[in-house]
Amino acid sequence: MALKLRKNLSPAPPPDCPLMTCMAFLGGAWGPNILWYLSAGPRRFSELKSDIPGVSPKMLTTRLRELEHDCIVERTVKPTSPPSVEYALTSLGQELVPAIQAIVAVGHKLKKLRQKNASRRSRNAA
């Protein structure tokens, strides 16, 4: 006998769901990493490149431009010789920092839980 399908009691998301809008910023490739490192203060491109191993210069440039276009990150050209560019979070970008920190905190808990389960499985297999 098939189980009866239960009705979802959560309200339907609005047509232009703000959660999906926010997750588009947090869920994109390398976006959370960029926000994490910029949360400590302005960084130059080369500093971000070394902070985030595995990101290509092209992808980093693309994501920084997208985040700048969306008013999450601001780009400032410094009048040095040669000119240098710094990236920083805007006030809107700063509002995403607590969400990133909460995700990191849960990530630590999940990591510990995985390690605990892995060691339990290896003991039981022995």
Q: What is the sign, positive or negative, of the torsion defined by CA atoms of 47, 52, 56, 58? A: negative
Fold of 28-125: Arc Repressor Mutant, subunit A (1.10.10)
Contact 46, 57 (CB under 8 A): no
Q: What gap in Å lies between CA 46 and CA 23, rounded to an integer?
A: 27
Strand 43-44 to 73-78 pairing: unpaired
Q: What gap in Å lies between CA 107 and CA 15, rounded to an integer?
A: 30
How confident is the model over 83-125, as pLDDT tens digits? Answer: 899 999 999 999 999 988 998 899 999 999 999 888 887 777 7
Q: What gap in Å lies between CA 47 and CA 109, rounded to an integer?
A: 29
Show the beta-strand stretches assigned E in the chain: 43-44, 73-78, 84-89
Please tell me whether residue 19 adopts helix, strand or coil conformation: helix
Query: By percentage, how much of the chain surpasses pLDDT 90?
Result: 60
At residue 51, the pLDDT reads 95
Q: Residue 26: is its pLDDT beyond 80? A: no
Other C-beta atoms closer than 10 Å to the C-beta of 96 total 20
